[in-house]
Amino acid sequence: MTNRRKGNKNSSKIRSSNPNLAPTTPPIKAKVNTDIRSEPQGTEVIKSDPYLAPYKDYFENRYKGFLEWVSKIDKVGGIDQFSKGYNYYGFNINNEEITYREWAPGAVSASLVGDFNNWDLEKNKMEVDCFGVWSIKLKHINSKTGKQPAIAHGSKIKISLVSSSGERIYRLPAWNRYMVQDLSVSPAYEAVFYNPGPEMLYKPVNKRLVPAKDLRIYEAHVGISTTEPRVGTFNEFTDNILPRIKDLGYNTIQLMAIMEHAYYASFGYQVTSFFAPSSRYGTPEDLKRLIDTAHGMGIAVFLDVVHSHASINVEDGLNMFDGTDHCYFHEGARGRHELWGSRLFNYDSYETVRFLLSNLRYWVEEYGFDGFRFDGVTSMMYTHHGIGVGFSGHYDEYFNGSTDESAVTFLMLANHMVNTLYPGMVTIAEDVSGMPALCRPVAEGGVGFDYRLGMSIPDMWIKMLKEVRDEDWDISHIEYQLTNRRHQEKTIAYCESHDQALVGDKTIAFWLMDKEMYTNMSDLTPLTPIISRGMSLHKMIRLVTFGLGGEGYLTFEGNEFGHPEWLDFPREGNGSSFQYARRQFNLTDDDLLRYKYLYRFDKAICNLEEKYKWLTSKHQYTSLKHESDKVLVFERGNLLWAFNFHHTNSYTDYRIGTLWPGKYMAVLNSDDKEFLGNGLVDPKTEYFSTNEEHNGRPNYIQIYLPARTAIVFSLAK
């Protein structure tokens, strides 16, 4: 690195511990995870996966690096203090003054400018310490009504820096909590000093939740959650969408695109301001109300976290913040994602790690989030970022050469912090590589996530719908993909998420019925073969994935009722249209349309899981994968599941094995008329087991199983 500020001769000094960062609040009495020292080698994971044994040295070294970071953090007060950097950096206010601090080690001078001082560069010059932290204190102003902050709430502000090359630059404060955008003037965001009076603050009335063990996740984007072609708001989501989510029976919401992002069409993946909720949806107080209202409904709220990369924007992002290429990021090619066109964080940097860990902590403390979904984990964990790489599953792909150890260590630190300070909080990894031990505890040598997304499952469904007639579906392949998950590592299963809904792809409903979704989804029109097939398979695909695919389940808003359109944000390529950047929930409210049947079925699945809790059950056994009959039978939890994927054949007195003797009743049938089925099976039918071995089970029952139908049975009480 060149052109460093005088007095900072090398990057290691700039990025070392800052002893001046004193706590502004007393440390909380958290349950510290002492296990991280009881297993100092970090090789406990080998006991549950013997294939990891050849990589023992790797796990020892990785865990050693993690402990070195923990020790470094402990020297400045521990993880509680370290992860509250937002109480030191950015703008902080007490009864006497406003203090503003910013880490910009590559700058040679700095001034705070804004509406409050008429943007005068000379009035409020900042001082710098030996760690490259610039600071200034602004005393409150005496007035007839008492002391008033020197900067008024809502004022525009910037930090002006002079780089080591002598260039005058203006930046938005990196830790700022509110940004605004006026597209009629410029697409660039402006920083706002956010200090509303007590009368403007939202005061939560409900406690933050410990997420349920059986996660039923509703993935949602606030901006598209309106039927009108515009950007929806936090308040509209609270008033209109939360009741729908509650009615459906989902116990968790995963909010996407919350961190401020200048380009709406990026789906929130080009973050410009990490501490600011997007103002296009409303104020920070509106977001607090949304989360608090969800908590009152018993619904946990997760945040989609983008710590894998950042927007390349300079004017309103972190890029080139202090005039150098490397503030917060790796410099040169290593600091750029060639496919995403974004900047890559330097996880070796002390201040970058503080920034990101504090970012997680801030969203919990300030807004009450109950969990995190980490985006782009594959990109973080490998130096190749997963670009052009197909993971075969050989362990050398994970632990020899291409792993970015600094990023993996950061993820371990993040999960360690979350588990230490917030027991029960959930973290989910978006990882396509299948890295072993990703979802094992840090104390055992794992990365520490609670769940990974089952990303191969939607890939399987889309590939089959695109390339294979359902008459030729391979039942064994379906069962294998749904059950192929690592031992002792939990998976969130899903048929489709926002990825499959975005333009350029198709949703399952579109693959099944797109030829007729605009003409034949009314009950007033005949039920055509395409709609009949599509509705049947849509229900079966969701049910088998929910039932067999993981220890949690996720859907993306609208997909549960077969939303008829893809998702496409306003952009230059579509004339900046909002036509497809919305969700038409009104379709489920129209009693003449057939979308209501899919909505009812999705609700019935959630209600069934709430009653029987199969997602948390350790009992799972597949007894039948019959290729010619196209029948799949399995036990999950205390339920017996039967799927007939055959396009024409129905089966009378079909034997299905079961572990449990007794009388059975159907508790969910996709062919019920309530779900636009044919009603061929009397829901009052009782099924009595025969004590005779069948398909490896000690008992069997005989059922009528119509074509393209799934039935779930339970022992009658």
Angle between helices 529-548 and 475-483 (to 10 degrees): 40
Q: In what order do the strands lie in the sheet with 97-103?
A: 90-93, 97-103, 133-139, 127-128
Catalytic residue among 80, 102, 286, 430: 430
What's at 573, amino acid-wise?
G
Strand (E) or helix (H) holding 710: strand 709-715
DSSP-derived secondary structure letter, 345 = B
The Cα–Cα gap between 485 and 34 comes to 29
The gap between the terminal CA atoms of the chain, to the nearest Å, is: 72
The closest of 284, 276, 245 to 260, measured between CA atoms, is 276
What value, to the nearest 5°, has the Cα angle with vertex 266 and ends 264 and 272? 75
Nearest to 249 by CA among 221, 291, 215: 215
Residues in the chain, overall count: 717
Taking the C-alpha atoms of residue 70 and residue 442, their distance in angstroms, rounded to an integer, is: 12
With CA atoms as reference, report the closest residue to 491 among 435, 429, 444: 429
Helix runs in 297-432, H state only: 350-367, 377-381, 396-399, 405-421
Mark whether 430 is an active-site residue. Answer: yes
Residue 261 has which token pair?
């992002």
In this structure, the number of other CB atoms found within 10 A of the CB of residue 385 comes to: 21
Question: Which among 190, 236, 304, 375 is annotated as catalytic?
Answer: 375
Q: Which amino acid makes up residue 392?
A: S
Q: Which of 631, 458, 446, 596 is CA-nearest to residue 55? A: 446
Q: How many CB atoms lie within 10 A of CB 156?
A: 16
Q: Is 386 helix (H, G, I), strand (E, B) or coil?
A: coil
Which residues have C-beta within 8 Å of that of residue 61, sequence separation ≥ 6?
Answer: none
Element (H, E) at 2: none
Give counts: helices (H), strands (E), the chain. 19, 31
Q: What does the buried/exposed string (b/e) look like for 633-643 if buried means 16 or more CB atoms within 10 Å of the residue's CB? A: bbbbbebbbbb
Distance CA 263, CA 571 (A): 9
Q: Please provide the DSSP assignment of 243-271 as one string.
A: HHHHHHT--EEEEES-EEES-GGGTT-SE
Residue 5 in tokens: 């500020």
Annotate 3-55 with DSSP letters as a single string: SPPTT--SHHHHTS--TT---SSPPP-----THHHHSTT--THHHH-GGGGGG
* 3-class state of residue 288 by DSSP: helix
> What is the H or E stretch that residue 61 is in?
helix 56-74
Angle at 695 between CA 694 and CA 700, to 5 degrees: 40
Rounded CA-CA distance 614/616 in Å is 5
DSSP string of 64-94? Answer: HHHHHHHHHHHTTT-HHHHTTGGGTSEEEE-
- Please give the positions annotated as active site: 375, 430
